[in-house]
Amino acid sequence: MKQIFLILFCCNAIHLGAQHIERVEPPFWWSEMKSESLQLMLYGKDIARYTPEMDGITISNIRKTENANYLFMTISTTDVAEGTYVLRLKKGKREVSRYTYEFRKRNEGSALRKGFDSSDVMYLIMPDRFANGNPDNDSSPETAEQADRTKQGGRHGGDIQGIIDHLDYIQELGATTLWSTPLLEDNDPEYSYHTYAQSDVYRIDPRYGTNEDYKRLGDELHKKDMKLVMDYVTNHWGAEHWMIRDLPSYDWIHQFPGYANSNYRMETQYDPNTSDIDRKYCVDGWFTSTMPDLNQSNPLVLNYLIQNAIWWIEYAGLDGFRVDTYSYNDKESIAAWTKAITDEYPYFNVVGEVWLHDQAQIAYWQKDSRIGAIQDFNSHLPAVMDFTLHDALSTVFHEDEASWDKGIVKVYGNFVNDFLYPDINNLLVFAENHDTQRFNHMYGGDPAKYKMAMAILATVRGIPQLYYGSEIGMAGNKDEGDGAIRQDFPGGWPDDKQNAFTASGRTERQNEFFAYTSKLFQWRRQTPVIHSGKTKHYLPQDNVYVYFRYNDTNAVMVVINNSTENRTVETGRFRESLNGFEKGTDIITGKEMSLGEISIASKTVMILELK
């Protein structure tokens, strides 16, 4: 009873002091972290008038800004045990407020958690458009925009419970890792569903659920031996973020003064001939007028972002980050952010959105890049996104007649430049995502072309990423607005007429898409030679591309016929890769065939496990 009384007393003390301490961030921390210090942000009306003290904790630095509502206090965490510690605000010798701060015990093995890697298949969802598991949270009195499925750009009601309800579906598809676009609070008055304009980065948006719901999502995924990737935004916040509405300092964000838009020219980050003004408008310019650009070169901002990221890893048990607009950040600062994350978690994976169309420029941003080293730059970013493969997949299946630079040679050409990347297995490979044109729209919903693209993603080096709904043939034209490529998944809402989450609820065509995707990626999940094997490929002939994934004991042969005619492939040219193998089994049909001559239908792929 005594222990219960003390807990109630502490909680009451926090409540009584709320007039001086409205927020402390991070809201709690963990003992035994690698970093030996912690920057606490204290917020409250005129809080800078007071002097903070913390029982049993050494305060190494107190920083005030021009806004008296903030105090930044650095404390030593060396040998700090789990438990609660009283933070006091004093005016002279008089205590005016107190706050109980908690250090929690880390989960065993937390620091050595293993992130997603090339053995995984990543499934990307827009949570507002995936499934509505709890209609009661569709709208919230704490947020401006309310759910309205009639609006293409409005909130539709998808949430965390809806994701949890359909984890079996995602697993059946062969995916092992879930990447959800952001779930943190976005209080924009409209178009808030994408959640990239965040208004509180320590809080899950109440229309998606609670922080506890998000942690539960991670726990449920881990029970299924699956992984959770958070979409993290370092470059900007939303204009409605509570700190943007009461800036700690003028230089917390980039100002010109006020707003100026980015020129989006990321090449200015490494162009040796660029002008200072062009680089400034790329890095410091706002992504949009409603997304103020964070100044990561301000140490207070950088520490805030580092600690927030680590807090979510530890709290929710994350297995990775996908970092939005990675190459728009100040490159030295984002490199320091990334290094701080991977120093704390050496086996954690972070993939950055580096939306460029040249492999040397993309490779510049990967950790230990020899290209970056020319400028004494190391991003410390483990993984990048293979946008040049995406570019090739967006056009190649329309190019029925091969030429020097048209047809399947575009895919071949992408892998010719693999030498540029320090870690080719740590590239995210994809045919589409939530920002690009829908694959099935570009190719008119042709199942044959979809199957070719998926077969390539499933068999090349790197980490394949699928975009929700494509596996049932979903399309949508981005030219009609972003909402057209972010449609509701059929069956995700209680009143939907069709439920495509089940085989019986899908149409025959949808089941064709799903069955192929599931069989392909379930096979990949169990095939280590694809995860870490070497690649050997051969110059395409007659719009037919052949490559092998192999190691010391196993090999897979991939034959892609991108022409409109059936082809017969003589295999003598591949002798160096076929040495010791006599037969191959098609992983889709189960048909076994000899390797002397291979007949392949137009616009199809064969994936042969060699024996």
Active site residues: 324, 353
According to DSSP, residue 305 is labeled H
Q: Give the whole-angstrom CA distance, residue 513 versus residue 166.
A: 18
Look-up of token digits 């990675």? 326
Please say whether the beta carbons of 386 and 427 come within 8 A. Answer: yes
CA dist 300 to 60, 297, 307, Å?
A: 15, 9, 11
- Token pair recorded at residue 217: 């999502």
- Token pair recorded at residue 605: 């792929």
Q: Give the whole-angstrom CA distance, residue 592 versus residue 611.
A: 10
- Please state the separation of Cα 19 from the chain's center in Å: 38
Q: Measured at the alpha carbon of residue 513, what is the angle toward residues 511 and 519, in degrees to the nearest 5?
A: 90
Q: Give the whole-angstrom CA distance, residue 494 versus residue 82.
A: 44
SS3 at position 424: helix
Phi-psi category of 200—alpha, beta or left, where left has phi over 0 and alpha has psi -120 to 50? beta
The values of phi and psi at residue 463, to 5°, are -115, 110
The values of phi and psi at residue 433, to 5°, are -150, -165
Q: Choose among 334, 533, 531, 529: nearest CA to 429.
A: 531
Q: Which strands form 51-54's sheet, in the order they lie side by side? A: 29-30, 94-104, 83-91, 51-54
Buried b (16+ CB within 10 A) or exposed e, 473-506: bbbbebeeebbbbbbbbbbbbeebeeebbeeeeb
- Token pair recorded at residue 487: 């449609």
Question: Pairing between strand 583-586 and 604-610?
Answer: antiparallel
- Token pair recorded at residue 348: 């954690």
- Token pair recorded at residue 566: 């059936």
Which residue type occupies 417?
N
Please say whether the beta carbons of 506 and 475 come within 8 A. Answer: no
- Token pair recorded at residue 365: 């941003």
According to DSSP, residue 483 is labeled G
SS3 at position 253: strand
